[in-house]
Structure 1
Amino acid sequence: MAGYSASAALGVLLLFCCSTWAAATDYTVGDSTGWANGVDYSKWTTGKTFVTGDTLTFNYNAGIHTVDQVSATDYSSCSASNALSTDSSGQTTVTLSKADTYYFICGVAGHCSNGMKVAVPVTASSTSSPSPPSSSTPTPPSAGTTPSTTTPSTNKSSPRTVSLPYVVTLTGLMLLKLVLL
């Protein structure tokens, strides 16, 4: 019987460890509308919790819009002249790699002032190590780099693995049941 107790304890420990892991989320900025004029991006961020490791995908018409990552000051003044990064490929994916606020605008004249801008507050994920306090200005990318692009896919606003904690819990419970049999 002692063997069963040790196995059960190991199963419960494994279940606990696995259930605390969370998958990163890939958000499509503006959902099905994408990165376009006439979208209230402050409303789009409401209710969302962005954590390190998540990604933002901007879908837009190439050549008509840009995605410029800018400082807080340039965000407020809608200035893309000192952009930290810029892309106009039609799909821009940005990984939120540190806890900070990321600022994005469309650099085409008049678009930012008409609302084509988004501020994304990012907190440290529970699975990442804490980040040191940072200034309100995001760290610029290395020289010669631009945001990466990816092939479009559907339903990018929901987590890649929607029911992962549920699946892990069920798997752990099934393993525990097998151990106890």
Structure 2
Amino acid sequence: MAMATALLILLLATPAAVLAVDYTVGDTSGWTQGVDYTTWVSGKTFSVGDVLVFVYGGNHKVDEVNKSGYDSCSTSNPIQSFSDGNTRINLTTSGVKYFTCPTAGHCSSGMKLAVTVTGTPNTPSGTPPTTPSGTPPSGSNTPSTNTSPPPPPPSNNGAGNTNNLMFVTISVALGVMFAFMG
């Protein structure tokens, strides 16, 4: 019985863990000059638990800065600096996060990114967030009626198919639970 209880707890905890999304900044272009990061951000919902993945060459870096540093392209006092070429930044708190490339002239030519992070994990693909009444929250981009098809699911940019992972986890947990009970 203890094993079944432990598996049930694992089963209940797993969906929250698989909802995080890895976003490759700039998609296939990566973190480089010539990408419109304002357009790249539009239509995406960043949530606590998601990860920003910056992929870049040796002449670029990533600095996390405050709003003033972002607006002025000043990296004299960065919050964090990265130069490994494959930087993963876990979004652990809600609010607006600002990033720039500190290489001279890169930020001023558009190599900067601002993302707004919500305090709730992303919902599974294709499922709009809802209020307790079952309606989308105010300000949601989701239509309030079911007369139109749902929007396409957001790209997970290599995060894997969370629905398949959840299905496998549930199937294994149930199989083990029934094996011990039966």
1:37 and 1:108 map into 2 onto residues whose CA distance is 11
Residue 170 of structure 1 deviates from its aligned partner by: 6.5
Structure 1 residues 86 and 25, CA gap change in structure 2 (3 angstroms):
same
2:68 is the counterpart of 1:73: yes
Aligned to 1:54: 50
| C-alpha contact 1:69 1:86 (8 A) present in aligned 2 | yes
Say whether 1:164 aligns with 2:165: yes
Unaligned runs of 5+ in 1: 1-9, 128-154
Contact 2:49 2:121 in 1 (8 A): no
Identity of aligned residues (%): 42
Secondary structure in 2 matching 1:164: helix
Q: Note the aligned Cα RMSD (angstroms).
A: 3.3
3-state DSSP of counterpart to 1:93: strand
Secondary structure of the residue that 2:44 maps to in structure 1?
Answer: coil
Count of residue pairs brought into register by the alignment: 145
Corresponding residue of 1:27: 23
Instruction: Judge conservation of contact 2:47–2:119 (CA < 8 Å) in 1.
Output: yes
CA offset digits 1:123-159 (Å, max 9, x no partner): 11259xxxxxxxxxxxxxxxxxxxxxxxxxxx97233
| Residue 108 of structure 2: aligned partner | 113
Letter in 1 for 2:165: L
Alignment of 1:6-155 (within 5 A): 17=12, 21=16, 23=18, 24-62=20-58, 64-126=59-121
- Alpha-carbon distance change, 80 to 160 in structure 1, aligned in 2, over 3 angstroms: same
TM-score under structure 2 length normalisation: 0.63
Q: Which ranges in structure 2 are unaligned for 5 or more consecutive residues?
A: 123-154
Distance 1:114 1:36 in 2: 11
